[in-house]
Structure 1
Amino acid sequence: MLAKATDKFHPSNKLGEGGFGPVYKGKLVDGREIAVKMLSQHSRQGKREFENEAKLLASVQHRNVVNLLGYCAYGEKKLLVYEYIANESLDKLLFKPDKRRELDWKRRYDIIAGIAKGLQYLHEDSPTCIIHRDIKASNILLDDKWIPKIADFGMARLFPEDQTHVNTRVAGTNGYMAPEYVMHGHLSVKADVFSFGVVMLELISGHRNSSYNPSLDDQNLLEWAYKLFKKGRSLEVLDPAVASTAAADQVALCVQISLLCTQSDPNLRPTMHRVVVLLSRRPTSLEEPTKPGFPGSRYRRSRQPGASSSRTGTSGASSFAKSEFTTSTMDTTATRPTTPTVDTGNQGSNAKGKQPLEFS
């Protein structure tokens, strides 16, 4: 079925290739367009483990998370089937001068809020807590209505409710990884929160953190934004391309929230639930962020082998739809919070009854 849908995985249907294998566009007999992710032959994941993970991911349902339709595993080949997202990934719009103007301030604000809701769902409301581990602009897909979808769960981690620690190797993208994760392999939902904060600042400023260089005095986007915030000049962080469409109070709030998310101490970072609430209610007062951590892998050599990771919310997955990506947050407590008091875009209340399709 999948061979027919993709014309035997013809090169003309190839959408791209990530660290976990190529992705092909296809069309099912009922007319639905799909994205088929072929896991690399070098993957150490066994068939049973793959099927268990695929079934779990198929139970994840949220408007801000790419939908896994089904899977196929035969022999050494493992395929994941996702909904096809026609628009480009966020990075291909945000970081290109000729396209970034399509992302006016309202769209950027809505994208920030959508990513936050998707992460809250993964951390707190999905059947099993999921930590994406690779939230970045290229892993955020935009549909034809500009709704953001978190994609590429190839590095995500899944955690049973009764598990509090996990030994994990460092995996992610330089410029987005939380310092405690890079240095010690300490993985929690707060690592996703940090990555989300970086993406949030990229959306506000139009600058890519990994290639940031507007000032010789600042080492990265976070440090630059933090210095402006401390001087009471948060509005200078805003991308000039959207200055005419932006609301000053929203910009200032978003800069402060992004800096709270990227604080060096993970215990000080907010949960994604709190981020969603802050974005929807726009508080009159908010605590001051402390100095941000340094994202990336400059501390990789100091990581202690066998470092464990606190459960503070966890989980893993694999997904895609025309690009690769990830997102972020939750408290450092093992228990999940009660039902949110704001609209979180949650479509997962009936997700446990959803059964994945097994393709041939």
Structure 2
Amino acid sequence: MTVKHPNIVQCVGYCYETLNEVASYNGKKVFAEKAEMLLCLEYLPTGSLNEYLSDESSGLNWSTRYRIIEGICYGLCHLHGQKDNPIIHLDLKPTNILLSDGMIAKIADFGLSMLLVQPGTIIASSSLGTPGYIAPEFVNGRKISLKSDIFSLGVIIIEIITGGKDYPLDVTKPSSSNTFVDDVLCKWKNRRSRRYGTLDVNCQEEIKRCIQIGLICLNPDRNQRPAIRNIIRMLQGTESIDCGISNHATSSTG
């Protein structure tokens, strides 16, 4: 309830109560405490991002997709930037991104989230997250850090742009990454030309930049993934994108 940000779903209230009920235990009747816990969250009638994912040829226009990407990044930055204890979400995925009437993205569902009490890495004792969005260091060693959320963010960004979770197997290889960037940009150009004419230069740069950001977030080496504040600066174009991916991918023609 203390985390308040335009890109985070607000908890407006809660209920916690316990009742004593008679139950059987080892052949005896005993009083057992039954707890009921309820959260009341702000209502967002537009639903989750998962309902609006589609490929480049249909669905949401680019400006809306870009605004959603920005919103998720700003919300995550607020969570990671908590002064005393940064919050690791640990289950970022399209169904946990809710949308307001104006298609403003709001991060929801903190059921798996953790407070990072001390800087560094946490070793989890149980499975967390959703397959397809879980960082490789967790799959291989149950290691959790702020960079766990960055990997999930990368998958979501690729999904928002392309409608799917398919991306190069080796995102650190410039040739395959640049080919992926060019292919996706080409599809966006084709969609735009069929409906409205040529895709303007600013949109081309935004699309290219967002794909590149998504790919560097997917680096299997978590130390090579950027922090969320750097990602926001990359989105804004005030910081270069150079983590093994050229910022000057060849423009494809439709």
Q: Any residues of structure 2 matched to 1:1-360 within 5 Å, and which?
A: 58-75=1-18, 76-95=35-54, 101=59, 103-125=60-82, 128-160=85-117, 162=118, 164-168=120-124, 169-207=126-164, 209=165, 220-223=166-169, 229-232=176-179, 234-238=181-185, 240=187, 243-244=191-192, 247-281=203-237, 283=239, 285-289=240-244
- Which shifted more, 76-85 or 163-172? 163-172
Residues 172 and 230 of structure 1: is their aligned pair in 2 closer, same or farther, counting only changes over 3 Å? closer
Q: Could you say what the CA RMSD is over the residues aligned between the two structures, in angstroms?
A: 2.6
Q: Which moved more, 1:182-191 or 1:233-242?
A: 233-242
8 Å Cα contact 1:198/1:222 also seen in 2: no
Q: Which amino acid aligns with 2:162?
A: S
Q: Distance in 2 between matches of 1:113 and 1:83?
A: 21
- Could you say what secondary structure the match of 2:15 adopts? strand
Q: Aligned letter for 1:86?
A: P
* Change in CA separation of 1:255 and 1:282 when aligned onto 2, cut-off 3 Å: farther
Aligned equivalents of 1:87, 1:176: Cα separation in 2: 23
- Rg larger in 1 or in 2? 2
Mapped partners of 1:107, 1:164: distance in 2: 35
CA distance in 2, matches of 1:192, 1:227: 23
Is the contact made by 1:72 and 1:80 (CA closer than 8 Å) also made in structure 2?
A: yes
Flag the 1:118–1:239 CA change in 2: closer, same or farther, 3 A: farther
Task: Give distance in 2, aligned partners of 1:188 and 1:145.
Answer: 32
1:65 and 1:126 map into 2 onto residues whose CA distance is 17
Higher relative contact order (CA 8 A, sep 6+): 1
Q: Where does the alignment leave 5 or more consecutive residues of structure 2 unmatched? A: 19-34, 193-198, 246-254
Pair 90,227 (structure 1): closer, same or farther in 2 beyond 3 Å: farther
| Cα pair 2:55 2:162 within 8 Å, conserved | no
Q: 1:86: Cα distance to partner?
A: 1.1
AA aligned to 2:116 is F
How far apart, in 1, do the equivalents of 2:93 and 2:186 lie? 18
Cα deviation, 1:63-114, whole Å, max 9, x if unaligned, reads: 000001121111211001111111021111114999x52x110111111111
Distance 1:203 1:148, change over 3 A: same
Counterpart residue type for residue 42 of structure 2: E
Letter in 2 for 1:248: Q
Matched letter for residue 59 of structure 1: T
Contact 1:235 1:248 in 2 (8 A): no
For each residue in 1:171-191, what CA deviation from the matched residue of structure 2 results, as whole angstroms up to 9, or x when unmatched? 111111000011101000100
Paired residue type of 1:63: P
Shift of 1:235: 3.2
Shift of 1:228: 6.8
CA distance in 2, matches of 1:68, 1:229: 43
Gap regions ≥5 residues in structure 1: 1-57, 210-219, 291-360
In 2, Cα distance between the equivalents of 1:125 and 1:176?
23
- Change in CA separation of 1:119 and 1:222 when aligned onto 2, cut-off 3 Å: farther
